[in-house]
Each structure stands twice: as structure tokens, then as C-alpha cells.
């Protein structure tokens, strides 16, 4: 139940990102790894806009 809600929120974030940028690739802004590399990507909002982090760099930020 909880995980399903989390996944839905992440998917909604991706849709927002795709609408705001011309870049359709979802990848970490630090290392460039993405879903295609087996990493989970999470979105964070910053003063500069929405930035994406992989599972590793999301914890560091």
C-alpha cells in the first residue's frame, strides 16, 4: 500500500519533469546513471528547479 503510493508519486514527478524540460532521459545529475543502468532515480526540488538523483547520490545530497 505504502510502496504503491510512493511509486505513483515518483511517476507523477517524472511526468512533471518531462513537461518542464525537453530532455526525456531520466538520469542522475551527478553521475549520469539512469533507469537503464539499473538505478532507481528520485526527483528533488531545488532553487534551480527539479533535479534527479540516483539511489546513491540521493542519500548524499
Interacting residue ranges for Zn ion, rule: CB under 5 A = 28, 30-31, 54, 57
Minimum CB separation of residue 33 from Zn ion in Å reads 5
- Cβ(31)–Cβ(54) under 8 Å? yes
Q: Cβ neighbours of residue 7 under 8 Å, at least 6 residues apart?
A: none
Minimum CB separation of residue 57 from Zn ion in Å reads 4
Neighbouring CB atoms inside 10 A of 27's CB total 18
For Zn ion, give the closer residue by CB, 17 or 54.
54
Point out the residue whose Cβ comes nearest to Zn ion. 28
Amino acid at each position: 500500500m505504502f510502496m504503491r503510493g510512493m511509486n505513483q508519486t515518483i511517476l507523477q514527478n517524472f511526468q512533471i519533469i518531462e513537461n518542464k524540460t525537453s530532455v526525456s532521459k531520466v538520469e542522475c545529475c551527478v553521475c549520469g546513471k539512469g533507469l537503464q543502468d539499473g538505478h532507481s532515480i528520485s526527483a528533488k526540488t531545488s532553487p534551480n528547479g527539479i533535479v534527479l538523483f540516483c539511489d546513491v547520490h540521493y542519500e548524499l545530497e
